[in-house]
């Protein structure tokens, strides 16, 4: 009988030890992920949509066989890199200029409200929506001067995964969408880009 108790005891003890090791490894991975943002796991586009971080229409979808920089219409991109390592993009149709990191790929697409310019790079995309209608709906859009973009008052909507900054010039409506997913580096890049906006 004592042999049976010992065997059972060791069998359960082994499972408890294995379970403890798995929990310790999981805890270590969580702590490590929180201390180093650059190594945070990336989520798939589908998971970002499922979590409500981004809408499906905001995920860039380049045409099959298209090259980076294709289908930009009236968009001109400067080849010159400025002192901060940024290049500028200008669109005469929609009357704006913005500076961005040249490592980002730009996708331009028509959307129901006008045009979307997506600056694509992991771990977070940045999009500028421009049109005669808003690209998203908010029941209490009120503009103030806490944040100015090219001298214009803005409405800022912020949640843990993204920040949207809206402004208007006449009837033209602009929405700058920073999908940072909580990443400080992407947030800072968004602020720099937003500060570079010029209206033509």
Summarize pLDDT for 95-141 with one digit per residue, the tens: 888 999 988 888 888 888 888 889 998 888 899 999 988 888 888 88
More confident residue, 26 or 45: 26
For residue 63, the model assigns a pLDDT of 36
Q: What are the helix (H) ranges across the chain?
A: 2-35, 45-50, 184-196
Distance CA(191)–CA(196), nearest Å, equals 9
Phi, psi of 84 (to 5 degrees): -90, 5
- The average pLDDT across 186-198 equals 89
For residue 64, the model assigns a pLDDT of 34
For residue 45, the model assigns a pLDDT of 54
Distance CA(89)–CA(106), nearest Å, equals 10
Beta bridge partners of 175: 129, 166
According to CATH, what is the number of the domain 45-199?
Answer: 3.40.1000
pLDDT at 175 over 90: yes
Our measurement of the distance from residue 36's CA atom to the centroid of its chain's CA atoms, rounded to an integer in Å, reads 18
Which pair of tokens denotes residue 143?
Answer: 């503009």
* Close Cβ partners of 43 (under 8 Å, ≥ 6 residues apart): 51, 53, 181
Distance CA(197)–CA(175), nearest Å, equals 12
For residue 35, the model assigns a pLDDT of 39
For residue 13, the model assigns a pLDDT of 62
């Amino acid at each position: 009988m004592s042999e049976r108790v010992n065997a059972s005891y060791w069998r359960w003890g082994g499972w408890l030890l294995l379970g403890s090791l798995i929990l310790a490894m999981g805890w270590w991975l969580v702590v490590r992920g929180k201390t180093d943002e650059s190594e945070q796991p990336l989520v798939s586009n589908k998971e970002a949509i499922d979590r409500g971080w981004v809408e499906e229409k905001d995920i860039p979808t380049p045409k099959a066989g298209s090259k980076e920089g294709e289908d930009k219409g009236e968009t001109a991109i400067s080849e010159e890199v400025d002192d901060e390592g940024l290049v500028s993009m200008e669109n005469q149709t929609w009357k704006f200029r913005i500076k961005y990191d040249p490592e980002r790929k730009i996708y331009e697409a028509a959307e129901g409200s006008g045009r979307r310019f997506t600056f694509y790079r992991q771990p977070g995309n940045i999009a500028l929506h421009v049109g005669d209608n808003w690209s998203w709906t908010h029941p209490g859009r009120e503009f103030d001067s806490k944040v100015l973009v090219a001298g214009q008052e803005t409405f800022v909507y912020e949640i843990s995964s993204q920040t949207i900054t809206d402004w208007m010039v006449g009837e033209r409506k602009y929405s700058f969408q920073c999908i940072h997913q909580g990443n400080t580096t992407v947030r800072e890049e968004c602020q720099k880009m937003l500060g570079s906006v010029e209206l033509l």
